[in-house]
Amino acid sequence: MVQHQQPWYTVNGVEELDSPALLLYPDRVKKNIATLIEMAGGVERLRPHVKTSKSADACQLMLDAGISKFKCATIAEAEMLATIGAPDVLLAYQPVGPKIDRLIQLTLTYTNTRFSCLIDNEAALAAIALATAAAKALAVGDGSTNSLEQPLNIYIDLNVGMNRTGIPPGDEAFNLYMAAREMKGIKPVGLHAYDGHIHDASLSTRKERSAAAFEPVYKLLERIGEQVEDYPELITGGTPSFPYHLEEGRAICSPGTFVYWDKAYLEKFTEQPFLLAAIILTRVVSKPGPNLLCLDLGHKSIAAENELARRVGFLNDTNLQPVSQSEEHMVVTSADADRYKVGDAMYALAYHICPSVALYREATLIIDHKVAGVWKTTARDRRITL
C-alpha cells in the first residue's frame, strides 16, 4: 500500500483554528537561520534586519545561534531587540522630531545594548548631536547611573540608486562623515547603503549591477579610511544582493526576508535555499457564482501593495486565481471550484511576507502538524513602552 506523506504545511485539527490566521513553522525558521550563517561562513558579517518577523521569539533564535548584531526600521523594533539582550542594534532610519528623543531614551534605558542610527544631512546630524549631548549633561547633573557614557554611533546613509534616502557616495558624504567626527555626543563609525532596487532574477545580473553601484562606495570607504584611525564599516546587502556582498567581502550584510521567506523571493531568487516558514490560513466563506470562491483573505489579512495577481498563491491548490479583493474578502476563480465547500481551509502564501506579518498581533506555531503555541508580533505597534 502506497503511503502518502502529509504536506509540510497542513495542520491536524485545522477546523479548530479561526481564520484568517498567520501560521509559523519554527523548525523551518531555525533552518533558515542556520542556512544564512552557513552561507556567510559564520556570524561575523551578518546584521539581519528584523522588520520581517517583528518577533522577539524569532530574534531570540538568532541570538541563540550566535548572531549579535541586528538592524531594524522602527523605535519599537529597536526596543524589542533590547528587551531580549541584543548587544548591537542599528536603527536603519534617520531619526527626526520626537524620534530623536525616543532613541536617546532607549540608550538611557537599555544600557547593555549598543544603539546606532543613520544620518544623511547636516541638519539631522546637528539635531542628534545636540540632543545627545544635552541628555548626557542632564543625566550627569542629576546623578543618574544611566548616563550616555559613550557617544551614539552613526552611519552615513548612502543613495546607491534606490532613490529613497541617503546621499551620493562622494564629496558630500565624505564631508558629512568628517563633520560628524568633530561633534560631541556622536561618533561616525561607518556607511550604510540599501540596494533594494537591484532585484533582477538573474544572479549574474544582480552581481554586475551591484559591482557598478558600489564602486564609488568602496572608493569612499578607502578615502575615509586614509583619514581616520578606525576604518569605517559598510552595512548593506538586503536579501537580493547579499550573495554578491558576501562574495565581494567588504560589507556586513543585512538580509531580512530570509527568516520566513515568501512566494516572490521563492520564485525569483532560486539560488537562495531558504524555506517557506510562514503562511496564512484562510477559508472558503461563500460560493458566489460558477467557478468562484470567496475567502476571508482581504486587504487586512495579506499585503495588498502589489497588483492583484501578485498578492497570494495557494499551497493546496495552485490553480486558484484572485479576481477581486476588498477589506475582508478575496474572490478567486477555479474551474474545479465545485470540489470545495463553504468552510474548507486554504493555505495561502504571501508574495510579500513582511507587511503581511505586520497585519497580525500574533502567529500560531505549527510543529509536526500540530498547534504548539503562539509568538507575539512584538513590534507590530509603533510603540512598546518608549
Could you tell me where in the chain the CATH 2.40.37.20 domains are found? 14-21+273-376
Q: Which residues pair with 14 in a beta bridge?
A: none
Lowest average pLDDT, out of 4-8, 45-49, 185-189, 378-382, goes to 4-8
Could you tell me where in the chain the CATH 3.20.20.10 domains are found? 26-262
User: Average pLDDT, stretch 192-217?
Assistant: 97
User: Average pLDDT, stretch 244-272?
Assistant: 97
Indicate the pTM of the whole model.
0.95
Residue 1 has pLDDT above 50, yes or no: no
Q: Looking at the chain, how many residues does it have? A: 386
CATH of domain 26-262: 3.20.20.10
Helix (H, G, I), strand (E, B) or coil at 231: coil
Class of domain 14-21+273-376: mainly beta
pLDDT per residue as tens digits for the range 52-85:
999 999 999 999 999 999 999 999 999 999 999 9
CB 254 within 8 A of CB 47: yes
CA dihedral of 260, 264, 267, 269, whole degrees rounded to 10: -70
